[in-house]
Amino acid sequence: MFNNFFNRFRKGLGIDLGTANTLVYVRNRGIVINEPSVVAINTRTEQILAIGSEAKEMLGKTPPHINTTRPLSGGIISDFEVAEKMLRYFIDKVNESERGHFARPQVIIGAPLEITEVERKAVKDAVMNAGAKDVWVVEEPMAAAIGARMPVREPIGNIIVEIGGGTTEIALISLSGIVTWKSIKIAGDELNRNIMQYARENFNLLLGEKQAEDIKIKIGSAMEIGEKTQYPMRGRDLISGLPKEVMIGDGEVREAMIKSLRTIVENIKGTLEISPPELIADIHERGLLLSGGGSLLKGLDQLIARATEIPVRIADDPLTGVVRGTGIMLDEPDLLEEVAVLSTKQ
């Protein structure tokens, strides 16, 4: 019956509703939307002014009556109404490009591991209210593992670390289920905040979040790699109140982030320590997979490999792993039925 249902509705959407970015996969077309999860609102009129990339460009640059907000925090919906409007915008955008074929689409959406039943239902309700006909919720590490073509249905240990904007999720997968896992609220956004705090404490410099992210991407690293590099850090001098530029080195950026990076590594080790020995034997042979935008931090794979003494590799195109996994499940309904944690069919 499940297969017949999907055969009748050949079109479907996969959504990675992330703290930092929202990606949408259209069946038979691939990824059609990859936009920041940011919304700009006029607080005088409650009108949505911009969503996605356009709204992100407004961050920190708006007058008092325009509020730029992220409707998700730590991978969980923190502003239901704004999240619903953002989802509706993206679904309508797909609908326009498909000439109405997605009037009421079937949707698979990823959700964090450490999420309550109420929060999971809020995700489902937001998608339904945004125009979906049916919704399946799948745990994000599972979707990312499927997107990386890991053999999740086999009796083999597959460990994946999904480092997003708001959360880092570590999951050991076997036989279409998550055996052991840990989820922490330390990920890409927290590393940005680490750099902002370092600039304040060491240079008396008030740094914007976008500047901190640029520094992390340009010269950030988890270990010393190659030649030393520097990057201009621009913000407001906390003493004079005037604009100020300071050159920051890769070693200083690493120092700013090291405590958070060690926490991620310790939680990976903690997950391995509580895993069944038979699966640990598989992991020792097969290694660990890094996914999510945070996995692109230079040297992070080497730092984890050195601490855990197991091979570590980075997924192909780690930024899109979750949404590509939802795309595979749209084509394999039996697999979706095995791994979905919540489904709603009208």
Give how far the C-alpha of residue 165 lies from the chain's centroid of Cα atoms, to the nearest Å. Answer: 5
Rg (CA), the chain: 21
**192 labelled binding-site residue:** no
296 among annotated binding-site residues = yes
Whether residue 316 is annotated as binding a ligand: the answer is no
Quote the DSSP letter at residue 154: S
CA distances from 327 to 25, 73, 108, 145, 320 (A): 6, 24, 8, 12, 11
> Taking a C-beta distance cutoff of 8 angstroms, is the pair 159, 280 a contact?
no
- Cβ burial, residue 201 (10 Å; 0-12/13-18/19+): exposed
Q: What is the DSSP string of 200-243?
A: HHHH-EE--HHHHHHHHHHH-BSS--SS--EEEEEEEETTT-SE
Cβ atoms within 10 Å of 206's Cβ, excluding its own: 15
* Residue 21 assigned ligand-binding role: yes
Residue 213 marked in a binding site = yes
Does the annotation flag 74 for ligand binding? no
Q: How many C-beta atoms surround the C-beta of residue 342 within 10 A?
A: 15
Alpha carbon distance, N-terminus to C-terminus of the chain: 14
Quote the tokens at residue 262: 């060690």
Dihedral angle computed from the Cα positions of residues 186, 189, 194 and 196, in that order, rounded to the nearest 10 degrees: -160
299 is in an annotated binding site: no
Alpha helices in the chain (DSSP H): 2-8, 53-56, 80-97, 117-129, 140-147, 188-203, 209-219, 250-273, 277-286, 300-308, 321-331, 333-339
Q: Is position 165 annotated in a ligand binding site?
A: yes
Asked if residue 7 belongs to a known ligand binding site, the reply is no
Closest CA to 209 of 334, 59, 36: 59
Residue 214, marked binder: yes
Annotated ligand binding at 124? The verdict is: no
Q: How many CB atoms lie within 10 A of CB 171?
A: 24
CB 336 within 8 A of CB 14: no
Annotated binding site for ATP: 19-21, 165-167, 213-216, 293-296
Q: Which residues are annotated as a binding site?
A: 19-21, 165-167, 213-216, 293-296
